[in-house]
């Protein structure tokens, strides 16, 4: 093989010695190893657009049935585990809505945006998402507990 340089002269490329025998299996690349290197190199698209596995674990929260009509101010938050398993949607506060009390004063919401059981819309069953691999939830309460 010849490589042509700007001057028009032909140069033989240096042969790179292979550390692998012909037909040897290629090393397996894992996303947890590749993503940080891509991000460090300034890449922001493709697989580098996502956080490295394990850095943004799924959140526990109140499960929202797909057929439940959410009142204004609430949203479904869909999540996926690092291995690609889709989890049930949890109930979160919409960032575009302001909750107010009876006097019209803003209600302070949790910083993480996850709706706690005591703020679930009336009539909604409270079932907590059991996040695989996490040690339970501080937000849990029995399903038969009111609202």
Please give the average per-residue pLDDT across 108-122, as a whole number.
95
Does 111 lie in the same domain as 95?
Answer: yes
The number of domains in the chain is 2
- Asked, for residue 3, whether it belongs to a domain, the answer is no
Assign 138 a pLDDT band (cuts: 50, 70, 90).
very low
- Claim to verify: residue 45 and residue 75 sit in the same structural domain: no
User: How many helices, marked H, and strands, marked E, lie in the chain?
Assistant: 1, 4
Full domain range(s) for residue 103: 60-131
Residues 77 and 108 in one domain: yes
**pLDDT score of 69:** 94
What was the pLDDT predicted at 40?
87
121 vs 14 pLDDT, higher one? 121
Q: How far, in Å, are 4, 5, 11, 12, 14 from residue 8 at the CA level?
A: 6, 6, 9, 13, 18
pLDDT at 5: 44
64 and 113 co-located in one domain? yes
| Lowest-confidence segment of 46-50, 73-77, 110-114 by average pLDDT | 46-50
Q: What is the pLDDT of residue 34?
A: 81
103 & 89 share domain: yes
Band (pLDDT 50/70/90 cuts) for residue 16 is: low
66 shares its domain with 50: no
50 and 105 both lie in a single domain: no
Residues contacting residue 124 through CB under 8 Å, at least 6 positions apart: 62, 64, 68, 91, 147
- pLDDT at position 52: 75
Residue 93 has pLDDT above 80, yes or no: yes
Yes or no: say if 140 and 129 are a contact pair by the CB < 8 Å rule: no
pLDDT tens per residue across span 20-48: 666 777 777 777 778 788 888 888 888 87
């Amino acid at each position: 093989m010849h490589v042509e340089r700007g001057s028009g002269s032909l140069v033989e490329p240096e042969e790179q010695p292979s550390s692998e025998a012909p037909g040897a299996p290629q090393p397996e690349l894992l996303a947890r190893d590749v993503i940080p290197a891509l991000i460090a190199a300034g890449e922001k698209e493709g697989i580098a657009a996502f956080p490295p596995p394990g850095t943004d674990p799924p959140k526990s929260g109140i499960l929202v049935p797909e057929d439940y009509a959410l009142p204004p101010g609430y949203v479904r938050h869909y999540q996926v585990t690092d291995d690609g398993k889709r989890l049930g949607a949890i109930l979160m506060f919409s960032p575009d809505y302001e909750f107010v009390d009876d006097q019209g004063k803003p209600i302070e919401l949790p910083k993480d945006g996850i709706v706690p059981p005591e703020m679930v819309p009336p009539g909604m069953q409270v079932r907590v998402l059991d996040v695989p691999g996490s040690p339970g939830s501080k937000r849990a309460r029995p399903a038969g507990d009111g609202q």
